[in-house]
Structure 1
Amino acid sequence: MRGWAAGLLLLFFALPVKADTLRIATFNTELSRNGPGVLLRDIQRGKDPQIKAVIDQIATVNPDILVLQGIDWDYEKRTLQALQLRLKQAGATYPHLFAQQPNSGMASDLDLDGDGRLGGPRDSQGYGSFTGQDGNAVLSRLPIDRDAVRDLSPLLWRDLPGAQLPQHPDGSPFPSAKALRAQRLSSTAHWVIPLKTQDGGTLSLLTFQATPPLFDGAEDRNGKRNADEIRLWQLLLDGALGPTPKTPLVIAGGANLDPHRGDGQRSAITALLADPRLQDPRPTSSEAEENTVEWENAGRMRVDYLLPSADLQVLDAGVHWPTISNQTSDQSDFLASRHRLVWLDISLDQR
């Protein structure tokens, strides 16, 4: 995009939000690398075009709260801090960070995928070849009430009420009873993060990234896990997993499931979208309507979500998707990720 049109777009996204409003975004950056420390190196070098494209998109939309997927975790959070610095240099400042070790890449020492071998990426609690690969993170301009954070990632799959546990054709546990006694539900993480608002209140941020409902066999291990990862939020709101999160709240992250097409138990995401305790603002773009990702084979789908509680006022919402006319003049948006950044403007004045 060139000339006055680009200037107007940047001005629109850069405008500060009013004190009683917030812009929240979720973005599956697909920044994960093939080894520990590689993403940190690439961010610090400042020469990687994908990283630059991700930073440019975030700085353009300029959210107050940013939920990221596809970013590698390390114990000292050096990778996230390096990204924080690059974003600050681009004009998007986030003083508060949150990231904990994800289940992705967490070794189990068990055969969790039933291939008869140990130590593969699918034998980790969530798919990953090293600790912290492909994790989640939150960057915020609002302070985080760290003492009140709930990490549901250690929850065993079998302990979820009504869990759809995979089975062999004879009805025995897949891949084994021993494996299911250790298998966590979250393929990446499920976090409940309380954010402190300017009026002294709390906004609860519920974040996750579910496994793709693919890459398994007749037992449908990943399809069932994906559905249960999504269903976890409704059970949490029911009070079936301990205290219910304070409202107002926003569910933010990736379900890897489209309500209308593609593989997986679409009823899981349909039920979440229709839950009366939530509202679906249905963010759109002029280029791709409600779609949030474009895969080479599967095409465009809606798999990334921002779902505020029903007591919040939604002011605006959108998917940052470049237009066709922009493809020939600026390829940076297409270097970032197959996923698009989804954003939501809310008023903190509850209904």
Structure 2
Amino acid sequence: MRIATYNTELSRKGPGLLLRDILSGKDEQVSAVLQVIVRTDPDIVLLQGIDYDHGGVTLAALAGALSRAGADYPFRFALRPNSGQRTGLDHDGDGRTDGARDAQGFGRYPGQGGMAVLSRYPVETGGVRDFSGLLWADLPGAELPRADGTLFPGAALYAVQRLSSVGHWDVPVRVGERTLHLLAFHATPPVFDGPEDRNGLRNRDELRLWARYLDGALPGAPPPGRGFVVLGDANLDPADGDGRSAAMAAFLSDPRLQDPVPRSAGGAAAANAAHQGDPALDTADWDDAGPGNLRVDYVLPSADLTVAGAGVFWPAPGAEGHEAALAASRHRLVWVDLAPGG
């Protein structure tokens, strides 16, 4: 069984525009994303960068396009993300309350850049746990941003500020006689802030939410003891780039998880000379004038599962699929194969 995560970056700047582009059948980025998913053929894939709408119309259109391209996903799941949900407060300290950053998570409109699960196995929707409403201040051990010793940009914000910039879901999927829990998330980039490091601290705590969940530290939410996979876009590299890399390195060494260290020839070929990490593990292709290529997308099975293979869909230059991977998104699809019954 192949499980994947993929930040498609398909999100558009206005509601309904992604649906329009999917239905047109002519959008080059949409076509490239479809090619990547069809080529890798995951049985379950967590998508990021998918605009959410009521009734899941856009997600259904994408699933229909995938079916016509040869990849059927009869089971779909999505919840309204925190992105774009306005609070009427100033979140980033610029003195305004109407910007895209003045929302529970960055977004020009509610639902921009959401998440979705496509699956060939039934999703047990009645057992889904949605942690997206957890206040940042309520995470055990949370570290909130401060400037000159006071909460930034003001204490009133943290009475309503959720931790999840997009979402944190525990989605149970029925695989034969077993239930596999998908611990899905998409964290904020740890940049675009000031010396208070608001986004850096939030990014780290979005990752730490899963550690606290597995610890049993979230009230009323006993964790799955086995048979789970943490997956999504953590926006954090364990060795390079901005952000609190030590948190990612610590998470990867958690004995309750295993890191299949998925690799690609394309990542190795696009290495950044100044980076410390193994470039074959990189999953995102940013401008070298910025962060460069980083490992930020993860599929991390629980220690009791048996990994049969793993990879990053980033073919080497000139290899089949290379151009599609680059045209689809700056992120690459990451996949892990789990052995049957393991």
TM-score by length of 1: 0.91
Q: How does 1:118-129 map to 2 (within 5 A)?
A: 118-129=97-108
Q: Which residue of 2 aligns with 1:181?
A: 159
Deviates more, 1:216-225 or 1:332-341: 332-341
Cα deviation for residue 298 of structure 1 reads 1.8
Matched, 1:238 2:215: yes
Do the aligned residues in 2 keep the contact of 1:26 with 1:341 (CA within 8 Å)?
A: yes
Gapped regions of structure 2 (runs ≥ 5): 268-279
**Pair 1:201-2:181 in alignment:** no
Query: Which residues in structure 2 correspond to 1:222-237 (within 5 Å)?
Result: 222-237=199-214
Cα drift, residue 325 of structure 1: 2.2
1:332 to 2:324 alignment: yes
For 2:102, give the aligned amino acid: D
Which residue does the alignment assign to 2:170? 192
The reply on whether 1:215 has 2:174 as its aligned counterpart is no
Amino acid in structure 1 at the alignment position of 2:165: S
Amino acid paired to 2:55: E
Q: What value does the CA root-mean-square deviation take over the aligned residues? A: 1.2
Q: Is the 8 A contact 1:285 1:319 kept in 2?
A: yes
Question: Is the Cα–Cα contact under 8 Å of residues 174 and 180 in structure 1 kept in the other structure?
Answer: no
Q: In 2, Cα distance between the equivalents of 1:267 and 1:180? A: 25
Deviations 1:301-336 (A, max 9, x none): 100000000000000000000211238x96332210
- Match of 2:150, SS state, is coil
The residue matched to 2:147 in structure 1 has which SS? coil
Letter paired with 2:327: L
From 301, 313, 320, give the equivalent of 1:308. 301
In 2, the alpha carbon distance for the partners of 1:261 and 1:246 equals: 32
In 1: Cα distance, 2:323 partner to 2:311 partner: 20
| Aligned counterpart, 2:276 | none
- Runs of 4+ with >4 A deviation: none
Conserved in 1, the CA contact under 8 Å of 2:190 and 2:202?
Answer: yes
Contact 2:230-2:300 at 8 Å conserved across structures: yes
1:257 to 191, 214, 236: 236
CA distance in 2, matches of 1:330, 1:58: 13
1:102-181 equivalences under 5 Å are: 102-169=81-148, 171-181=149-159
Contact map agreement 1:192 1:245 (CA 8 A) in 2? no
Decide which moves more: 210-219 or 283-292.
283-292
Superposed, 1:25-174 pairs within 5 Å as: 25-169=4-148, 171-174=149-152
Letter in 2 for 1:35: G
Matched, 1:292 2:283: yes
Percent identical: 55
| Partner secondary structure for residue 231 of structure 2 | strand
Is the Cα–Cα contact under 8 Å of residues 255 and 304 in structure 1 kept in the other structure? yes
1:124 partner letter = A
2:299 is the alignment partner of 1:321: no
Partners of 1:231 and 1:101 in 2: how far apart? 22
Alignment of 1:264-279 (within 5 A): 264-279=243-258
CA distance in 2, matches of 1:298, 1:166: 23
Query: Conserved in 2, the CA contact under 8 Å of 1:33 and 1:133?
Result: yes
Distance 1:102 1:85 in 2: 22
Q: In 1, are the aligned partners of 2:164 and 2:206 still within 8 Å (CA)? A: yes
For residues 167 and 46 of structure 1, what CA distance do their matches in structure 2 show?
48
| Shift of residue 132, structure 1, vs aligned partner | 0.2
Q: Which amino acid aligns with 1:300?
A: N
Say whether the 8 Å CA contact 1:203–1:246 is kept in structure 2: no
Is the 2:50–2:116 contact (alpha carbons within 8 Å) kept by the matching residues of 1? yes
Determine the C-alpha separation between the residues in 2 that align with 1:100 and 1:210: 16
Deviation at 1:85, TM superposition (A): 0.0
Q: Deviations over 1:16-46 (max 9, x none)?
A: xxxxxx1001100000000000000000011
Q: Distance in 1 between matches of 2:304 and 2:239?
A: 27
Instruction: Give the TM-score taking structure 2 as reference length.
Output: 0.93
Alignment length (residue pairs): 326
2:282 and 2:293 in contact (8 A); partners too: yes
Matched residue type, 2:227: P
